[in-house]
Chain A
Amino acid sequence: MIEQNQKKLIKWLSGVVIAAAVLSVLIFTGVLNPAKIKKLFMIEPDSHLMTNRNAYDIALLEAQKWQPDAKLAFMDSGSISERGRSNTWKAIFISSKVKAKGFSIEIEDYKIILLAEIIYNGVGADFPTNIISSEDAIKMVRATKGYEDAEIYGAEVIYMGNLWYWGVKTSKGVVSVKGK
């Protein structure tokens, strides 16, 4: 019995030594540098917030309960982080079955907090998977001359003229960005 415990201890210590050696090699060879290590363990402060895709995925299920052919017409972030994330998203869906009406869904912290059919006039479409993210839209706004330092208030995505547009609301007005 004692021998077995000793063997376990030896195995365990051996594992620790091997792991330490591997880690040392990775660090000394530069495979892992402080920046990478930091990145590995760093959690973005807004990681708990929802991307518009997160919210859309949640909202779409509810919208399709409203009307199976529900199409997204509009999404709004409310306040938004620089990475395009928000704790609250509002989405409006439309349906060819219901004229002049929309279905408004508000999602907060991954939970639906409001469902309502509203009066709404607008067009909608399937929200493409390859549309740029709100984070990309914000980055593009940042790259626009004069808006490098603008305060970002929020973002909305709207279907207009057969294209999706992001509208990034800033302290200097709304900057639109084509969705794809």
Chain B
Amino acid sequence: MSKAFRKFLKFFAIFSLIAVLGFSDIISFLPQILQNNKLAENLEVKEAQAAASIRATGTYVNGTANLTPVIPAGAVAGDMMLLAYGTKPYNDAPTITAGWTSIGSATDGTVAAGTDVGSMQTRIYYKEHDGSETNPTVTNTTNNVSGAVIIVFQKGATETWATPVGAGGGDNSAGTGFSVTAASDPGITIGDMIVGYAAIRSDAGTQTGIGITATGATIGAFTESPAADLATTAGGDMAMSGGYSLVTAGTASAAPVYASTLAASHTGSAFIVRLRPIPNASPTLTVTQPDGTGDTVTAGDLYNITYDLADTDNVVTAAMYYDTDATGLNGTAITGACATAAEGTGATCSWDTTGMTPNSYYVYGTSTDGINPQVSDYSSGVITINAPANNLTIGVTAGSKTTTVNSGDISVYANDISCSASSTCAALTLNVSNTSVTVSSIKITEIGTANATADLSQLALFYDTDGNYSNGVTGQYGATVASFTSEAATVSGSLALTAATTYYFYARFNASSTAPSYPKGGQTVDFQIAANADVTLSSGTATISGAPVSLAGTTAILPRLTSVTYGTGLSDGARSSEAITISGYGFGVVPGGSRANCAGAVDTGCVRFIVGGNDTVADASVTAWSNTSIGWTVSSTLATLGGASSLEVVSGSQGTGTDTTYYIYPRVNGMTTCSAGGDRDNACGTNQSQEYAAADTFGLIRLNGDHFGASAGTITFTGGITFTIHNTAEGACAVAGWATDGTSVCAEVSTAIASSTNSGTITLNRTDSKTDTIALELLPRITSATPTSGVVGDVITIDGDHFCQSAGGCPASPPTTDYKVLFGNTEAIAADFTATGNCAAQGISWSDSRICVKVPSGTPVGTQKIKVVKKATPNQESERENFTVNSTVPNTPTNLEQKKTDIITAIDVNTGTNQSSVVFEGDISAGVSVTMWLEVEVRATSTAFDGTVTASSSAFTGASFANVTSTVSGLTNGAEYHWRARTKNSVGESSAWTAFGNNPSGDGTGDGSPANRDFYIDTSAPTISIGTPPSSCTAHSAVTDQTATISWTAGGEILNTALTTNQTRYGTDSTLVSGNTVSASAGLSPSANLTGLNAGTPYYYWVKSTDAVGNFTQNPSGSPFCSFTTSAAVTRIMKSVDYFIVQRDQITDTQTSSSTFTLYIAETSSTLKNAYVEIDGVIIGTGGSVPTFQVGVNGQTSLTVDLPNTTSPQPFKIHYNLPSLTLNCSSPVESQNGICANGTGANKILFTFGGGFSKASLVNAKMVITYFYTP
């Protein structure tokens, strides 16, 4: 329906109403009616009705299973799809694809399904096409047979579908007439599309003449769609048909009726659906406020416009306007939220009336859904907007002040000069609301703790209107105020403030005054407009408000360090004990006791280091503290080395903004050097050390001081020579290496220092290259003395270093007061120094590295330590070097002996010699090579030594000689002597006498005791008298057929010397060239038994006696010798006896076994002729080395034999002849004549198995002896 047509209908309806009510009565009411859109709309609803039309029809599908009818082609989004569905059994409860909705169903009874029988269920589903549909599936729980089809309807583009509604019923009457009255009236009226379908229980129930009627409504012709019925014999058979009709007029007052004619008499059910497109509705808008009551505001206020806005089918907004009248919709749009006011009942939108010209205004709104014509509504009353008052507001930005300002700084801003917005820029603000005014003065009051009157100056205000300081200011307001008065400064100027514009004022000032005077660290600066009256106007009027206001945040005064003094000779620091002055501003006035307080109030403070070790200068170290100067002394215990940006002054808890580079330099306060002891007679002197040698600690120095750092520095000497750090605590270094507290370092005085250097400077280099120095004097050091031993007068070369006090200053003629060389306590004299030998090359006896000096006369023998002194006061001397002074004085002779003249035969102490000459022998030596000899003094024991030399040896040149002899002849027979010896050299020196033998007494010591005899002289031989040979000799006796006895008497001995040797020689040779010499018993009456003589045979003999010193007498001394004849032979019996010795157990290891046996000889006068041991046994060897067997009797020479080397038992037999025919005999013993050694002991036989022996058994052992005897 066109818009023009709808207006026509509206006019027609109104005209008709006028006609009914009477024109005259209605005419005055007409404007209200015309303005009542709702009425008009209602009229339109009644007059205008949309209509649906067919879009497409699908094709029937049927079957006994689930059905999926096809959506017909051509269906588009917005179309209404109806799915007609018939089925039996009647009571099935089918489901359908999601999105489809069942409108309802109907049945004709409750007859069970069967072929051509059974009640039918007819049902219609709907779904609005969404543009992308898939064919739906109807799913049965039970299914006899079913059929379905989809029919699609379209509507107008702006229309919407009313929810399809419908109802149905059944016809189970007989006959071919089929009529179903729906169970209810779905509300059928003109324009509605009526859709109906019926399902018949048999395929024979096809329909013709289908129509739908409803009382009160005119329903057009029914269009069967699809055109052909469904008739199926599937399952229990069924038929289905239906279509649609358009209601062309009227409104139904009763339920619709579906009627048709069946091809055969059957029953079935039908369902009717009403489809209705609905035209689009216009929005509705009513502005309810302002209504003129209580609607007065001031421009700039917010006002809530109240309205009702709704649209049933679109989302709409309303735009609000203000208008001076209530007509024409020609007002001015209201911006903000009211330009797009949302739907709602009693809704509001906020109107900012800022800038509104004071007046009374209607408010109206307009709204459109884009489909229907725009709607609008004026408020019923007006809003009255009054003009605002002219206010000058004093304010402040949210931005905080700069947090710190250095005391003494000038032209500093209270704001952060890099700020870029009012939110960050601290500024005082002025804003006049409506009309411009001119500001003639602004009084700024300082309300911080700083004394502005005394310490601040040059206040200036700068302004802009954007609150952004960093992009520049508009200009300075007024002139700079030189000083504060009573903590305030009034800036006068002339600045016209534009209404509604905020002016930002930035404060600049000097943190000092011309006194000069400076604010103190820790004080605060805070600017304020204290009162509204502090802002004055020169033109315009305004109500001033807002004061007091203060800039946000806190500005603290920082102390400022401008200069600091340095230690002597330094440019960036100081050493301990040095007094330092710090100059600057804002230090406060800090009394003692508060000078190490880094976190206190104003007038407290500290000086501290924040680099190189954090530490605060102790209160006691601060000597003065004013607002501009601090005096303090560097303490040795200040625990920092300082560094770049290290020094900070804190005042009132505020540190200097910029910290100062300051170093605490190392201070070498002194050193410790070697102490006396060892090879140093005296300690090293003040700052004196010798070069380091690993063998001692004399070359160690320890630098003492402070701030050395804990490690890694270096110690150097003049010329850049580096000293090695000594990391062992010893000697002068009580602390090794770099002390961890930085107070000492131990170093080795380098040997790289030139020997000519006497003194220099040690530099301690800290790791940060900060240094300190100390002087060092080098003591002489002896590295060697060559040779290491000698005699007085020998030239000694002393090598070392630093022997002279200065280069080229060595003594030309030592010794001097300063320069000395000592050998022990003996000082070398001028004559001892020589420039020869090893010093020839240097041409002087004393250089800085070499001294040639003789061992001084008078130097004691022995170890004498050499020491070099190069300065007397204060003493500068070297350590001591060992030197051995040898003596030329011969040593006392050793290994003294007295010998016969053969120089071989020793004369034992207290014995004699049969010679009148005696050789005295000894070893002579001296410490050095000399010509020397042995001297002896021989005295009768009755005479004491008197030092008179009896005899001397030959002279020998050398250091040592052995077996040097000196012979003394002419000694007296029968005399007794003692003697002593000494060594004498060619220079007349002699050793001490040493007495021979154990002969301390009588050796000249004068103790009065007689001397012990060392030897005596006995040249007298013994005397023997045995008659006249050969036959008249008297020495033989007891002559038998086998034996004889020779005995004699000797005499003539002196000094009671007993005879030591007596012999006799006998034989049948009258010349005794052949014969036997046998010993006779000792003493003066010797005797010898001769045995084994032949019977009846002449024998010859002589006798001989020898005394202790070798004097002897043989008698007769030559042929004829003495003679006797043995008697005739006597008869004797020979006898052999076996003595079974032992039968032992098996022997299983190499060992020595022994057994004893007893020998019995019963016969008298027995003479043993033979004795042997016979051993029988069985041996098992190892198969390795040869087994051995050893046998022996009574310690006589044993016999060792090899046994069979086999691992199988082997017998063996051994005969062992006794080397000596001497055995022990046991009682009863009749005779021991030549058989037994004694009559008490048993005999012992030893067996020893060895070699590859495994085991053995001794079967038998026996001794067999053969002897004869006289019965």
A interface vs B, CB < 8 Å? 74, 76, 92, 102, 104, 118-121, 140, 144-147, 156, 158, 160-161, 163, 165-167, 169-178
Contacts and interface: CB of A to CB of B under 8 A. Distances in A.
B671 interface: yes
A145 B739 contact: yes
Contact of B672 (A120, A147, A156): A147
A119 B744 CA distance: 37
A172 B774 CA distance: 20
Contacts of B35: none
Contacts of A102: 873
Given A145-B744, A146-B735, A147-B734, A160 B686 contact: yes
Contacts of A177: 669-670
A171 B675 contact: yes
A124 to B, nearest CB: 13
Contacts of B670: 140, 144, 165-166, 175-178
B816 interface: yes
A132 to B, nearest CB: 10
Interface in B856-898: 871, 873-874
B990 interface: no
Nearest 10 A/B pairs, CB to CB: A146-B734, A167-B686, A161-B775, A173-B675, A176-B670, A177-B670, A119-B817, A160-B775, A173-B683, A175-B672
Contacts of A156: 685-686, 874
Nearest to B732: A173
Nearest to B870: A121
Contacts of A171: 675
A112 to B, nearest CB: 18
A165 B668 CA distance: 12
Contacts of A174: 672-673, 675, 683-686, 688
Contact of B671 (A104, A118, A175): A175
Contacts of A147: 672, 734
Interface in B944-975: none
A166 B759 contact: no
B687 A176 contact: yes
Contacts of A172: 672, 675, 732, 734
A119 B818 CA distance: 8
Interface string B718-736: 0000000000000010110
Contacts of B668: 178
Contact of A161 (B684, B685, B739, B761): B761
B777 interface: yes
Nearest to A160: B775
B734 A121 contact: no
Contacts of A120: 817, 873
B1126 interface: no
B704 interface: yes
Contacts of A118: 817, 873
Contacts, number: 100
Contacts of B1106: none
A92 B873 contact: yes
Nearest to A159: B775
Contacts of A173: 672-676, 683-684, 732
B669 A140 contact: yes
A144 B871 contact: no
Contacts of A92: 873
Nearest to B672: A175
Nearest to B675: A173
B483 interface: no
A77 B818 CA distance: 21
Nearest to A175: B672
Contacts of A140: 669-670
Interface string B993-1036: 00000000000000000000000000000000000000000000
Contacts of B759: 160-161
15 contacts: A118-B873, A121-B805, A144-B670, A145-B734, A146-B734, A147-B672, A158-B687, A172-B672, A173-B683, A174-B683, A174-B686, A175-B672, A176-B671, A176-B687, A178-B668
B818 A121 contact: yes
A175 B685 contact: no
Given A140-B669, A145-B735, A76 B686 contact: no
B686 A176 contact: yes
Given A121-B871, A174-B683, A178-B668, 11 more contacts: A104-B873, A119-B817, A140-B669, A144-B672, A144-B704, A145-B735, A158-B686, A160-B777, A163-B775, A167-B686, A176-B774
A147 B704 CA distance: 12
Given A145-B739, A176-B687, A165 B805 contact: no
A175 B873 contact: no
B743 interface: yes
Contacts of A165: 670, 686-687, 775
Interface centre among B671, B673, B732 (most CB of A within 10 A): B671
Nearest to A153: B683
Nearest to A104: B873
Nearest to A118: B817
B686 A166 contact: yes
A169 B817 CA distance: 23
B1195 to A, nearest CB: 74
B704 A175 contact: yes
A173 B672 CA distance: 7
Interface centre among B670, B671, B683, B744 (most CB of A within 10 A): B670
Contacts of A161: 759, 761, 774-775
A171 B672 CA distance: 12
B874 A76 contact: yes
B732 to A, nearest CB: 6
Contacts of B743: 145
Contacts of B674: 173
A170 B704 CA distance: 15
Interface centre among B684, B704, B735 (most CB of A within 10 A): B704
Contacts of B673: 173-174, 176
Nearest to A155: B686
Interface centre among B683, B735, B743 (most CB of A within 10 A): B683
B671 A160 contact: no
A47 B433 CA distance: 91
A140 B674 CA distance: 18
B732 A178 contact: no
Contacts of B676: 173
A18 B732 CA distance: 61
A160 B776 CA distance: 8
Nearest to A158: B686
Contacts of A146: 672, 734-735
A166 B669 CA distance: 10
Interface centre among A121, A158, A173, A176 (most CB of B within 10 A): A173
Contacts of A74: 873-874
A91 B1229 CA distance: 111
A145 B683 CA distance: 19
A102 B873 CA distance: 10
Interface centre among B732, B735, B874 (most CB of A within 10 A): B874
B640 to A, nearest CB: 20
Interface in B670-703: 670-676, 683-688
A173 B668 CA distance: 18
Interface string B644-669: 00000000000000000000000011
Interface centre among A76, A145, A147, A166 (most CB of B within 10 A): A145
B279 to A, nearest CB: 111
A167 to B, nearest CB: 3
A156 B687 CA distance: 11
A165 B688 CA distance: 12
B687 A160 contact: yes
Nearest to A171: B675
B1219 to A, nearest CB: 82
A121 B811 CA distance: 12
Contacts of B688: 174
A121 B816 CA distance: 12
B700 to A, nearest CB: 10
Contacts of B672: 144, 146-147, 172-176
